[in-house]
Amino acid sequence: MSAAAATTLWARAFVDELARAGVREVVVAPGSRSTPLVLACAADGRFRMRVHLDERSAAFFALGVGKATGHPAAVITTSGTAVANAFPAVVEASQAGVPLLVLSADRPPRLRDSDANQAVDQVGIFGRYPRAFFEPGMPELRAESLRYLRGVAARAVAATVAPDPGPVHVNFPFDKPLEPVDPPPAFVAEHPLAAAGRPGGAPWVRLKGVRPRISDAEVAELADAVRGRAGVVVAGPSEDALRLGPAVARLAAELEWPVLADPLSGARYGPSGGAHVVAAYDLFLRDPAVRARLAPEVVVRVGVSPTSAALQGWLTDHDAIEHIVLDDGRRWKDHGAVSSRYLVADPVDALERLAGAIRVSAPSGTTPGASDVPVRAGAGPAEWAELWRRVERAALDAVAGPAVDAFHEGHIVAAVLSAVPADGTLFVSSSMPVRDLDAYGHPRETVVHVQANRGASGIDGVVSTAFGVSSQRSDPVVCVIGDVAFFHDRNGLLFAREPDCPVVFVLVDNDGGGIFHMLPVAQHEPHFTAFFATPHGVDALHAARAHDVDFREAGIDDVASAVRSGLESRRTVVVRVRTEREENRRGHAEVREAVARSVHAVLG
């Protein structure tokens, strides 16, 4: 029995189990040592295979697939630094809770720590970020070893999904020869189960994670803690937004509480069910006096930490009240250290059961309070809800009023959001785009699927992730991205050649790092421009042309129509909107000042 035959059957058995476990997307970065895995996937026929020359882009594309579907895609790398290039995507997948499967080829153990070419230490290379790490060992034609390998494949896929989604790394040491050789027919005939898997396409072992649930007694305790009090529901970003959003709305409607919904939570864009989803809270909660006036008695929080620093500041300002966190992940989600009650449970299940308990206990014939009640904090839910509505109206009047002269990039994000159709997908880059969406992307009753890489909040891999998300959508994805992030992942534009994942990129181009103008370091010239704003002087037009991507210029007045036109073309398009960093800073400052004046007038 040749070593080549063992390697071939080893790879085929593993990828067979991946397919049986539901994996359908494979992204390949070319290399020699990974030949057995790549050719096994290609011969299998159940995978949609894509190729990208950059392992980082390949891994972020696979991440995008996981974000869009909740199921892992596999990225295959060769040995050496190729594996390390997947690290940023692994970190993001771990922090955000996104399924991702990294399959790396490796040198055989005898070549490790021996000065062999392209051999690095790949065992545990991603540290504590993966949910699981497997190294099945060297291929061998033994029935018990193949049975074990099939089980590893099933366990690897299961470990990427609920109850704690994230990345999994499987490292395969392969020795030459690497090209396929059919295994001996006698071995296959003698060990049909190990060689060919279970009959009927069944996986080797079925694994299913169970989300934790709180008890009925705990639901009753929570109901007592929130009933009849002035509170809010804070919904942070979530990779389970489709489930989380409606559950948040139901509880808030039952309690008559305002909802402070991050754009990535699933609770901001979609049917509110009678709940008040507050607009512009990022703008009016920046003011210390407003934060003090809007003092709640209790907060129920789900999802990860909200994008808005103003909202985070408001939460920490009121650290002495009841803060209830509902979360089923392994990561502690209370960096402000304000939680007084932290329940490890499926938040959707907990919210829905809590809403049911509130409804059962509500007196018959109750109605929301009238809008003419006195405005003061610490009162009943109806009065409390009206206070938030009046502050919100004052803030929105200021945003739309004549007091703001300077243009700012929030106008762009708001215009783009208006062009995204119902049930469409908006991907926003970290840095300023996601913050502008939070501040100026006001709630609407139609569903918009909003996604971003906010696990580690990096700007790396944004282009590639957007393509990965689009590959799982029926309509093109709209991606708002800054110029620095765009150039950081320019290799991702290679995915524009894929026919099934068009993206309309709205490129907010201010020739550098505009977000740094919002920080105190902006006052420290000349070092600020040289080391922070870092104007690059590169024209994105050339990058688009190099990848045969449509390129269009737009201003604030026509960016929405340019987005709609791009969506209709069903091609990858770059729509550039040029801005000026200092004007953008001044515009944001004017909005904040106008909102503060307007809200102060309402609060007296």
Instruction: Tell me the per-residue pLDDT of 223-273, one tens digit each, with 9 for 90 and over.
Output: 999 999 999 999 999 999 999 999 999 999 999 999 999 999 999 999 999
pLDDT at 521: 79
Co-location of 243 and 390 in the same domain: yes
Same domain for 180 and 64: yes
Residue 303 lies in a domain: yes
User: Residue 269 domain-assigned?
Assistant: yes
Boundaries of domain holding 253: 216-362+373-400
In whole angstroms, what is the distance from residue 440 CA to residue 427 CA? Answer: 15
- pLDDT of residue 376 exceeding 50: no
Q: Domain of 290: which CATH number?
A: 3.40.50.1220
Q: What is the mean pLDDT of residues 291-317?
A: 96
Give dist(CA 340, CA 246) in Å, integer: 25
The whole-number pLDDT of residue 362 equals 66
Average pLDDT rounded to a whole number, residues 99-126: 92
**Whole-number percent of the chain with pLDDT over 70:** 97
Q: Read off the pLDDT band of 309 (50, 70, 90).
A: very high
pLDDT digits (tens, 9 = 90+) for 584-601: 999 999 999 999 999 999
pLDDT bracket for residue 363 (50, 70, 90): low
Tens of pLDDT along 429-444?
998 999 999 999 999 9
137 within a domain of the structure (yes/no):
yes
pLDDT band at 379 (very low <50, low <70, confident <90, very high): low
pLDDT mean over 356-383:
58
Buried b (16+ CB within 10 A) or exposed e, 134-159: bbbebbebeeebbbebbbbbbbbbbb
Q: Are residues 333 and 476 in the same domain?
A: no
pLDDT band at 516; cut points 50, 70, 90: confident
Confidence tier at 519 by pLDDT (50, 70, 90)? confident
- pLDDT recorded at residue 378: 46
> Which of residues 141, 167, 197 is at a domain's end?
197
- Residue 271: per-residue pLDDT: 96
Same domain, 75 and 192: yes
Q: What average pLDDT does this structure show over 170-182?
A: 96
- pLDDT beyond 90 at 114: no
The pLDDT, as a whole number, for residue 329 is 78
As a whole number, mean pLDDT of residues 315-321 equals 96
Q: Is 596 within a domain?
A: no
Average pLDDT of 179-205? 95
- Whether residues 395 and 414 share a domain: the answer is no
> Amino acid letter at 395?
A
pLDDT of residue 515: 78
Bond before 72 cis per omega within 30 degrees:
no
Q: Are residues 266 and 350 in the same domain?
A: yes
- Return mean pLDDT, the chain: 93
Query: Which CATH number is 181's domain given?
Result: 3.40.50.970
What pLDDT shows up at residue 380? 66
State whether 304 and 417 are in the same domain.
no
What is the DSSP code string of 519-559? Answer: SGGGGSTTHHIIIII------HHHHHHHTT-EEEEE-TTTH
Q: Same domain, yes or no, for 18 and 71?
A: yes
| pLDDT at position 563 | 98
pLDDT at 532: 83
Question: Does the pLDDT at position 553 exceed 50?
Answer: yes
Write the pLDDT tens digit of every residue in 130-165: 999 999 999 999 999 999 999 999 999 999 997 899
User: Quick check: 424 and 450 in contact, CB under 8 A?
Assistant: no
Tokens read off for 485:
């992030």
Q: Is residue 249 a part of any domain in this protein?
A: yes
Residue type, 557: D
- Residue 368 falls within a domain, yes or no? no
Q: Are residues 326 and 430 in the same domain?
A: no
395 and 423, same domain (yes or no):
no
My answer on whether 437 and 572 are in the same domain is yes
Q: Are residues 244 and 150 in the same domain?
A: no
- Count: domains in the chain: 3
Radius of gyration of the chain (CA): 26
Distances in Å between the Cα of 498 and the Cα atoms of 68, 325, 467, 549 are 17, 42, 9, 12
User: How many residues would you count in the chain?
Assistant: 604
pLDDT at 300: 98
- In sequence order, the 6+-apart residues with CB closer than 8 A to the CB of 15 are 37, 40, 41, 44, 47, 153
Between helix 347-361 and helix 241-255 the angle, nearest 10°, is 20
> Is residue 601 domain-resident?
no
Q: What is the pLDDT of residues 446-498, one digit of tens each?
A: 999 999 999 999 999 999 999 999 999 999 999 999 999 999 999 999 999 99
Q: Read off the pTM.
A: 0.94
Q: List the strands of the sheet with 74-77, edge to edge.
A: 48-51, 25-28, 74-77, 100-106, 167-173, 132-134
| CA–CA separation, 299 and 247 (whole Å) | 16
Is 209 a domain residue? no
